[in-house]
Structures are given as structure tokens and as C-alpha cells.
Structure 1
Amino acid sequence: MPSGVQSISLMGDTLYTPEVSPELFDDQNEKFLEALADYRVDPEDAENIIWLGRRAAYLGEYREAIQIFTEGTYKVPEDPRMFRHRGHRYITLRYFDRAVRDFERAEELMRNMPDVIEPDGLPNELNQPVSTLKSNVWYHKGLAHYLNGDYQQAINTYEKSLNELDLTDDMQVATLYWYYSALKRGGQDEQAGHAIENVTADMDLIENDVYLNLIMVFKGLFDPERMMEVSDDSLQNATLWYGIGNWHYMNGREERAIDIWNQILSTDEWAAFGYIAAEAEMARDSSTSSE
């Protein structure tokens, strides 16, 4: 692809390297250069490869990140993290099938390994990681299936995570959000209701409050229209708006859902999961309408 182009959207639009805000760029670029220096000292080291790829992605260089993780799959082919992180960035660039294959490979490699906390590259306010290698593999694998419209596969993946892992409250809420959505979209309404019945508004979360608030909308406890108010966090807006649009869609208000999803697509947050999900919905709607 030409310089500055990362991928093509599901709607056929060119996705250019996103601009990083000036206040974040200096910090992230410095960390990228540190990771690059470490890599040059020892380019065979798995940690050096992982962090170089992650730092490239935080600067919006997703294609470069994929190339780095691909290099890692050859240098340390038994390390599931290479496939976990490459799969994540395949989702970013809309290669959902490739992402699923990477997560399946990561599953195979980590099957007999103990789970480990995954350090954050963009730490939360408490600098406290809320996820693990296995929870991230299954979370993102389920998401890739969901974005593909393979709701039963998404359900199966999320159930594995919920049943087999000791998830933090943050990770449990995020997983339940997508699990509920997959169940509803798959026509399993009763099971969807049961899935979130123990989620309460007073849960003390570190970073996934948006998903918690959306679950409260699903339960009829929060007003979705009040939550549509624009915040300063455009990434959060994409997540929130997709969820509210999805709530309308799941309750038969397709026109309102499409209006909200189009609102997301008018922003520049094309790497956000909420944006990608809205784009996938609109691409399916366009495909169905043209048949």
C-alpha cells in the first residue's frame, strides 16, 4: 500500500495513518525509540520484539506492527504473544479471518501454559493491568468472530473465557458486554438476560466503565439518550455510541441504530473497536440492501 495508508475499510474507504495528539506523540515516540534501541541490541529477544511492535501500533503504524510481530512468529514461533498481538492488529486493519487464525494458534501454544498478567502499554490511571494473556486472546478472538457476524463462534469463545478464567471485574464486564451482544444478535434472548443479571452499576472498575454503563442500558437502568452526549474522549464516544446503536438495533429500531452508527463513521477514530463494529454493521447492511 502507498505510504501513509494502513488499510481499506469494509466500506471501501482508504484508512490513513491516524494522527496522534501532540501531548501523546512525544511520549509514545520516545518509548518507541527506546524499544527500537532495545531491539537493535538483541533482535532475537521476544520481549524486545513484542514491545517494538506494540509501540509502533500506539503511533498508528499498524502495518509496521504486523510486520514486526510476523518477524516474531519466525524468530520465536512457540511464543503465543506474537500471534495474540498480531491478531489484535489484524482486527484493526479489518482482516478478521487472519485474526481468528492467529488467536487459534495462540490458543494452541498457550494451552499448557499458566496464565500471566499482561502489562499495559497504555497504562490506566492506577497503572494496574486488568487483563491476562489468555483473557486477551479469547476476548479478541470472540470480537473477531462477532465483527464477522459469526455470533455462535463469538458466544463459544466468550463462554470459554468466562468459565475457565479468573477474570478481573474489568475484564469480566468487557467480556460480558460482547457476550450479551452476541447472544442477542444470535437470537438467544433469555440466555443474554441471564448473562448480565449479576452485573450491578456500583461495581468498582478501573477502566471499563463504558462497558458497564452500556450493560446498564441493556438492563433498562440507564437512559441511553443522555449517554449519547459527546465527551472529550472520542475513543470512548465510539465505544459508547456503537453500544447504544446496537441496543436500538436489538430492540427493532434499525433506523435509529443506523443513524448512530453513521455518526461514528463521521469521526476519525477508525481504529476503535466501536468504530470497526459500526463499520461492519453498515457494510452488512449495504450488502443486504444491494442484493
Structure 2
Amino acid sequence: MKRFVFISALLLFCCNPETKQKKTFDAVSEVQYVEAVTLLGDTLRTPKALPGKTLDKYKKAKEQFDKTPDSVEAVIWYGRRTAYLRHYQKAISIYTDGIKKFPEEARLYRHRGHRYISVREYDKAIHDFKMAAKLMDGQPDQVEPDGIPNSRNTPISTLKGNIWYHLGLAYYLKGDLENALWAYQQREMTNTNNDNLVSEGHWLYMIQRRMGDKEGAAASIQDVAMKMDIIENTNYHKMCLFYKELLDLKDLKIKGDGSSSDDVFLYGLGNWHLYEKNDTVTAKTYFKRLLEEGNKYSFAYLAAESDWNRLFESP
């Protein structure tokens, strides 16, 4: 009789849909959850977690979190490693639970805000970045460790820098150019290297050109030179050199392989044809190609998606 009761209870547990979903979700299963609905109406689902370093690091982060759930560092890295698998909704829930435990931790708002951008919830992202900025006001800045190290294993950004950068981006994606300009100008105070200079310069230039301020746009990239020590943001560097007429169109190679450089170039050039040439047809061609071939979570893709939604009919 006891054996029958045990087996019945076990079957009831295993067949419970909520138990099964929670178990598979936490284990990064092949179940495809809805991660986001794009501004163009496309549904983006959870991708399969493939074997490799990214999945291995996720498992280690989750194991550490399970051991030390009250460690803010464990929460942050569990969320970050989950997001690198493109399980953004799960990452958001991890950060949300973390904020309940650590409501004064700016890093949790910064990372949750980033993932709200990924899933196109820009108002929520803006709220989180503004909260993070408030919590960091008057506090010393800190280098932000990379989850995916660059070729030199040298972090290039800071906590405050990332807060302002992503806040500016969220405003830009909503079409709020004035606040986007304000946020990027705050981030300017945190510039520590050439990578920051060109990434910020790229967005500041585009924002001010769209606002009709050619002089301000030029000033935002005046310190960009042909020879600079760039670790990560070579594509932004090339776009800034193009804006300064130090590179030509032929120098911006679009490979057609869906690479990050393609996304940056396709958006930057499409945008340039809008404000410099008033050429909507060519701009639309660049944007359309990006929306067909690009990484649906890249910042350039998100920007093209937002612009298309505002400026053109659906592709």
C-alpha cells in the first residue's frame, strides 16, 4: 500500500504542468518560450541552449546561485549567464527576485534594464536605468567585468558608463532624441578609453544629425582619429571615420554573414542616407536588409526596427 501511495505521489508531481515548466525552465530546456514580440509583430522564442562554453558557464553560475542565493554577486552572474543564452525573460525574473532582496543594488537595475531593451520593453528599461543612476549618484564608479571577454581580456566599460549608455539607447529606440542626447552627454563624463569615445560618438553623431545640429554632431566625434587603439568597437570607429569623411562607402565592408559589423554598417548607412541625403529609398533598402539578415537583438537591429515602425510601412 505504501509503495502504491509513493508511486501515485511521484506521478502526480511529475505530471503537474507548473512543476514541469519550472524544472525545465531552470534547467535551460528546449522548450521555446516567448521572449519578445518585435515592433513589427514577429514573435521571438527561446533558442535551444547548445553545448559549449556559454552553457557550461551558465551551469556553473546557477550552481553557485543555488549554493549562495543570498549573494548579490551570485544573483548578478546567474542572470547574466542566463541572458547570454538568450533566455531574457528568465534573466529578467532572476534580476527581479534579486531586487526584492537587494533593492539598493544599482547593478541589478542596470542589468535588468538591459534585458528589458532586448525584449522591447523600453519604458521599463528607462525606469530601471534611471533608478540605477539615482542609486549611483555620488558613488564612485567601478569597472564592469566582462561576461564575454574581449581578445585582450580587458574590460572597457564601467557601471556608470553602461547605465548612461543604455539609458540613452532606450530613449533613442523610443524616438525621444532630446532625452537620448541628454543621457549620452552624461555618459560622456565616464569616458575612459577610445572604445568608449567611438561608441558614444557614433550615437551622439546620429542623434544630433537627426535633430538638425550638424555642428554638435561634428563636435561629438572631433577627437576620433584614423589611428586609435580600439579593442572592441572597431565598427563604431569605422562609422565615425566615415562621418568625418576619412573613410568611403567602399571601406565599410558588408560581408552578408549576419555579423555584428554588418548590423552596425547597415543601420549607420541607412540612417546616414536619411539625414545626409534625404534619400528614403536607399535608407529603406539598408534597413530592410538589416531586418531580414541581422541579429534580432543587436542594438542596430532594434534601432532599424524602431525606425521602420515609425517611418515606413511593414516590410
In which range does the TM-score fall when normalised by the shorter chain? over 0.9
Residues 1:253 and 2:279 are matched in the alignment = yes
1:7-46 equivalences under 5 Å are 7-18=36-47, 25-46=51-72
Q: How far apart are the structure 1 equivalents of 2:138 and 2:58?
A: 32
| Partner in structure 2 of residue 77 of structure 1 | 103
Deviations 1:41-94 (A, max 9, x none): 111111000000000110110111111111111111100000000000111111
Correspondence for 2:181 among 155, 173, 190 = 155
Deviation, 1:254, is 1.7
Q: How far apart are the structure 2 equivalents of 1:10 and 1:28?
A: 28
Q: Structure 2: which amino acid aligns with 1:6?
A: E
1:46-85 equivalences under 5 Å are 46-85=72-111
Q: How far apart are the structure 2 equivalents of 1:51 and 1:202?
A: 36
Residues 1:173 and 2:198 are matched in the alignment = yes
| Partner in structure 1 of residue 267 of structure 2 | 242
Contact residue 143 and residue 155 of structure 2 kept, 8 A: yes
Contact residue 135 and residue 167 of structure 1 kept, 8 A: no
TM-score, normalised relative to structure 2: 0.86
Deviation, 1:231, is 5.8
Residues 1:183 and 2:208 are matched in the alignment = yes
What secondary structure is seen at the aligned counterpart in 2 of 1:198?
coil
Q: How far apart are the structure 1 equivalents of 2:222 and 2:261?
A: 24
Q: Structure 1: which amino acid aligns with 2:270?
A: G
Q: How far apart are the structure 2 equivalents of 1:263 and 1:140?
A: 25
| Partner in structure 2 of residue 89 of structure 1 | 115
Deviation, 1:3, is 3.6
Q: Structure 2: which amino acid aligns with 1:68?
A: I
Q: Which runs of 5+ in 1 are unaligned?
A: none
Q: How far apart are the structure 2 equivalents of 1:16 and 1:161?
A: 33
Deviation, 1:136, is 0.2
Deviation, 1:19, is 5.7
Pick the structure with greater CA Rg.
Answer: 2
Contact residue 242 and residue 274 of structure 1 kept, 8 A: yes
Deviations 1:198-218 (A, max 9, x none): 211211110001000001111
Number of aligned residue pairs: give it. 283
Contact residue 228 and residue 241 of structure 1 kept, 8 A: no
Deviation, 1:165, is 2.2
Over aligned residue pairs, what C-alpha RMSD do you find? 1.7
| Partner in structure 1 of residue 25 of structure 2 | none
Q: How far apart are the structure 1 equivalents of 2:193 and 2:182?
A: 20
Q: 1:194 to 1:255 in 2, by over 3 A?
A: same
Q: How far apart are the structure 2 equivalents of 1:121 and 1:132?
A: 13
What secondary structure is seen at the aligned counterpart in 2 of 1:6?
strand
1:213-232 equivalences under 5 Å are 213-230=238-255, 232=257
Deviation, 1:273, is 0.7
**Taking CA–CA contacts closer than 8 Å with sequence separation of 6 or more, which of the two structures ends up with the larger relative contact order?**
1
Q: Structure 2: which amino acid aligns with 1:145?
A: Y
| Partner in structure 1 of residue 11 of structure 2 | none
| Partner in structure 2 of residue 107 of structure 1 | 133
What secondary structure is seen at the aligned counterpart in 1 of 2:61?
helix
Deviation, 1:167, is 2.3
Deviations 1:185-229 (A, max 9, x none): 112111111211221121111000100000111111212244243
Of 32-41 and 223-232, deviating more is 223-232
Q: How far apart are the structure 1 equivalents of 2:302 and 2:46?
A: 15
Contact residue 57 and residue 81 of structure 2 kept, 8 A: yes
Contact residue 79 and residue 94 of structure 2 kept, 8 A: yes
Contact residue 49 and residue 69 of structure 1 kept, 8 A: yes
Deviation, 1:268, is 5.2
Contact residue 181 and residue 207 of structure 2 kept, 8 A: yes
1:267-282 equivalences under 5 Å are 267=293, 269-282=295-308
TM-score, normalised relative to structure 1: 0.93
Q: How far apart are the structure 2 equivalents of 1:209 and 1:83?
A: 28
